[in-house]
Structure 1
Amino acid sequence: MTPDTTAYVQWFRQSSPYINAHRGKTFVLMCEGDAIADANFTNVVQDIALLTSLGVRLVLVHGARPQIDMALERLGAQSTFHKDFRITDRQALTAVKAAVGYVKADIESRLSVGLPNSPMHGARMRVVSGNFVTARPMGVIDGIDFQHTGEVRRIDHSAITDLLAAGNIVLLSCLGYSPSGEVFNLAVEDVARHTATSLRADKLILMGQDDGLLNRNGSTLQQLTCRSLEERLPQFSGEARNHAEAALRAVSQGVPRAHLISFHHDGALLQELFTREGKGTMISQDPYDQLRPARIDDVGGILSLLKPLEDAGILVRRSRELLETELSRFYVIERDGMITACAALYPYSDDRAELGCVAVHPDYRGGHRGQLLLEQIEQEARRRQYQQLFVLTTRTAHWFIEQGFVPGQVSDLPEERQKLYNFQRNSKVFLKTL
């Protein structure tokens, strides 16, 4: 195989756990009007086709802000905004309905492509839209009447669920309807968030200008819990703030995960959903990396993690049988079924214990996983009322010194551990008082 082919095969194999995990799940994907007007939207549509072919149940929610602006310009009119909401008067509503109708037809036509020799060949996707969003007027805020600008009142989740179960893509717009027959212009984030929570969707995916939420240095914040996002929320503005708030509220109301990705980046949707590293920002209630005691089904993952270090002579080799007997002493960090780090606590006396088998997968070093495991081990050691933690190492002395360990001698070890010391390995001893 060529290098490119080898990389493709490896990626495809690594994505298989996600393919299995996503099959039959419900995703709500929100695309701003800017995303639909972008040249990359053709690729996004192809990725949507791939998701549906893999068994994902998909609700696509679209906006139309730039298209509405163009429609107003053709009418010789201009909208006014208050707190980032368009004040939709009667003339603006005409433009809104025209723009939304145009975008809806554009999306449906793109999802209908099935030409031979194209990525959409054989997709045969059925797209269904309708009056699934019940809305109410936003009313008067700060003395300003928003007229035909509204907010979501209810989502017809049972009808949408039935359509998804029948294999359809459900297409929702930024329009909502009242029981009296009025039409309201809605914030697309509001529709997407209510749809995700009402359907109890597995994911809410928001496509925007940036590769997720960016920190002050312009780097993507790859993972945030609801708590950490709340703390950071004031630093965001505009689209990023709107998307962050929608994601935060959706996850707080029961959606397991929300993802913020860029519509400019080709393949961002697939990278975010089918790789461990992702390509945007993921919001979850709990940390993505789960630190927990090891279980019997972790043995294979721990052995895979330890083997390269054993082969390099950094760790003493352990058999599967020995590891299974010692499993209760291990803690692991898991990411989507993969063990990315481990460490163990070995008691040797009433007041001293050994820190052993500290290992972090090469692809996940630099993410403070070693420190997290050490903190967990120290916490457990204190709970058991140990007074001192010791570690033997041949290659990572500086890291342990940075974590507060001090050099020691073999004679400082518990007598039982001294008998097991391998002088051929000549491991250095480090101690930490708890």
Structure 2
Amino acid sequence: MRERLTQFREILRYVPRFRDRVFVIALDGAVVEDENFPNLLLDIALLRSLSIRVVMVHGAAHQIKRYAERMHVPPSDTDGTGITDRDTLQVAITAANRVTHEILEGLLANDLRATCPNAVVAHPKGILGGVDHQFTGRVERIDVVFLQTLLEHDIIPVIPPLGCDGAGNSYRLNSDAVAVEVAKSLRAIKLVFLTTEGGIRNTAGAVVRQLTVEEADAYLKRNKADLSPNALTKLGHAVRAGKEGVERVHVIDGREQEGLLGEVFSNEGIGTLVYANEYQSIRPARKSDVRAVFNLIQQGVKSEELAKRTRADIEKQIADFYVFEVDRNPVACAALIRYPEENKAEIASVYVDDRYANQGIGLKLIHYAENLTRAEGFGTLFCLSTQAINYFVQKAGFALGTPDDLPPTRRDRYEQQGRKSQVLVKVLNEESSRRGAEPQR
């Protein structure tokens, strides 16, 4: 019971970040036929209950192969990247429509409204290298207004690997490419690829847990010959999605029970996360930043949000500070103070220039400090606040504490200052600490 409550709290911690945001969930056709598919639909129902907007994009390569055999049609292409002749196109339409219908049936069984919109406008892939790809297409554009209208009315769009042009011609598409275009167009916060292979594996066969977009690109080039065709397309499209603005791309095993929830609602996850490096603008402060940090803190002191610090104090402690840059100018700061003997660390002096408020910068600094704290093996992160108590609790996952939670030296200063700040505490996951700093999934 306690474990289930812990899992529930873990999910709730993510809800404010994901509410009213878009998840694009891309399923391989084989996942739809797996025995875990009904459980997957329950997971999607839970996402919807948390006000997360869901778009589903599905493949049909598995079904196309079977239908082609049944109809005695040798398929010229099954994954939407090679040549698609007229017979294969008809098989693809039949197979894709069947998969779409199965998904719509399953969603309705879970009291979820859904529809298959004609929101993908495509054009022919054309003649490449002297080869006519016939009815293989590429995405020209996504009808964003149409999809947003459906999402605003709590209707899940279910998008097949097919597209049409303005003249009414149909084309076979690669479902992974469709998913990337949909995620980009809707500014999805997550793109989740559900496969029957699980995450991207290294040469030893272990799942690679996380890669930045740059690391994933290098990994793809270095290990191209060793990756399966499925892993190749998933990682390639993950890199493209990350480069073109999708913050988080997940590759997981769609056959694993509660795998979708385990991936998106925990730092550990079960598959591979490819993420845009949202911390690229955060760096350790330098001596040349003393003036900028002092000016930021002075703004917080005037509003009584931060404790007073002299310029000399900041110069002496500059090694503890981190700054967030915009166009190479520090616009926010935070300090991370370690207490190794107590296995605790403090995040302090978090402040964002008023001109850059309400852009999520403060939360990025907090997550950055948390990841550093985990990497260094500390068990607890704490902070003191007089005005941002709800922010640290609701947004950053801290809990109310007491002065007894402070290291002795910090408690002495706390009592001397007399500000009666609220103590806030975050006990860090021990397993995550052992694994090191990880991005917020």
TM-score between both structures, scaled by the size of structure 1: 0.68
The aligned counterpart of 2:232 is 241
1:128-167 matched pairs, under 5 angstroms: 128-167=115-154
Tell whether the 8 Å contact from 1:276 to 1:336 is kept in structure 2 after alignment.
no
The aligned counterpart of 2:318 is none
The aligned counterpart of 1:364 is 432
The aligned counterpart of 2:391 is none
Asked if 1:190 is matched to 2:177, the reply is yes
- Deviation per residue, 1:225-276 (Å, 9 max, x gap): 1111111103134011101111111111111111111112111110111111
In 1, distance between residues paired with 2:350 and 2:87? 73
The aligned counterpart of 1:181 is 168
Cα–Cα, structure 1 residues 341 and 166, in superposed 2: closer, same or farther, change >3 Å?
A: same
- Deviation per residue, 1:33-79 (Å, 9 max, x gap): 11111111111111111111111111100111111112211221111
Q: What SS does structure 2 have at the residue aligned with 1:85?
A: coil
Q: What SS does structure 1 have at the residue aligned with 2:191?
A: strand
The aligned counterpart of 2:300 is none
In 1, distance between residues paired with 2:5 and 2:107? 28
1:203-352 matched pairs, under 5 angstroms: 203-234=190-221, 235=223, 236-286=227-277, 293=321, 314-315=341-342, 334=367, 340=374
Within the candidate set 67, 82, 103, 1:71 is matched to 67
Tell whether the 8 Å contact from 2:29 to 2:62 is kept in structure 1 after alignment.
yes
Cα–Cα, structure 1 residues 90 and 316, in superposed 2: closer, same or farther, change >3 Å?
A: closer
Cα–Cα, structure 1 residues 340 and 85, in superposed 2: closer, same or farther, change >3 Å?
A: same
In 1, distance between residues paired with 2:71 and 2:96? 15
In 2, distance between residues paired with 1:326 and 1:167? 37
Q: What SS does structure 2 have at the residue aligned with 1:247?
A: helix
The aligned counterpart of 1:376 is none
Q: What's the Cα RMSD here?
A: 3.5
Compute the displacement of 1:360 (Å): 8.3
The aligned counterpart of 1:350 is none
Tell whether the 8 Å contact from 1:49 to 1:125 is kept in structure 2 after alignment.
yes
In structure 1, what residue type is equivalent to 2:92?
V
Compute the displacement of 1:142 (Å): 2.9
The aligned counterpart of 2:34 is 38
Cα–Cα, structure 1 residues 210 and 287, in superposed 2: closer, same or farther, change >3 Å?
A: farther
Tell whether the 8 Å contact from 1:208 to 1:260 is kept in structure 2 after alignment.
yes
In 2, distance between residues paired with 1:251 and 1:325? 32
Compute the displacement of 1:153 (Å): 0.7
Tell whether the 8 Å contact from 1:333 to 1:342 is kept in structure 2 after alignment.
no
- Deviation per residue, 1:361-402 (Å, 9 max, x gap): 633344456xxxxxxxxxxxxxxxxxxxxxxxxxxxxxxxxx
In 1, distance between residues paired with 2:369 and 2:252? 19
Q: What SS does structure 1 have at the residue aligned with 2:367?
A: strand
In 2, distance between residues paired with 1:89 and 1:219? 39
Cα–Cα, structure 1 residues 264 and 47, in superposed 2: closer, same or farther, change >3 Å?
A: same
Q: What SS does structure 2 have at the residue aligned with 1:80?
A: coil
The aligned counterpart of 1:420 is none
Cα–Cα, structure 1 residues 317 and 251, in superposed 2: closer, same or farther, change >3 Å?
A: closer
Compute the displacement of 1:335 (Å): 6.0
The aligned counterpart of 2:404 is none
Cα–Cα, structure 1 residues 7 and 85, in superposed 2: closer, same or farther, change >3 Å?
A: same
In 1, distance between residues paired with 2:250 and 2:271? 7
In 1, distance between residues paired with 2:369 and 2:185? 25
In structure 2, what residue type is equivalent to 1:340?
R
In structure 2, what residue type is equivalent to 1:185?
R
Bigger mean CA deviation after superposition, 168-177 or 87-96: 87-96
Compute the displacement of 1:106 (Å): 0.7
Tell whether the 8 Å contact from 2:334 to 2:349 is kept in structure 1 after alignment.
no
- Deviation per residue, 1:82-136 (Å, 9 max, x gap): 99834221111111111111111111111111xxxxxx3xxx2110222100001
The aligned counterpart of 1:117 is none
- For structure 1, the residue ranges without an aligned partner over 5 or more in a row are 114-119, 345-355, 370-434
Aligned length: 328
In 2, distance between residues paired with 1:26 and 1:93? 31
Report the identity percentage: 29
Tell whether the 8 Å contact from 1:276 to 1:335 is kept in structure 2 after alignment.
no
In structure 2, what residue type is equivalent to 1:227?
E
Asked if 1:17 is matched to 2:13, the reply is yes
Q: What SS does structure 2 have at the residue aligned with 1:28?
A: strand
Tell whether the 8 Å contact from 1:28 to 1:205 is kept in structure 2 after alignment.
yes
Q: What SS does structure 2 have at the residue aligned with 1:153?
A: strand
Tell whether the 8 Å contact from 1:333 to 1:340 is kept in structure 2 after alignment.
no
In 2, distance between residues paired with 1:174 and 1:316? 52
Within the candidate set 171, 181, 187, 2:158 is matched to 171
In 1, distance between residues paired with 2:253 and 2:344? 45
The aligned counterpart of 1:386 is none
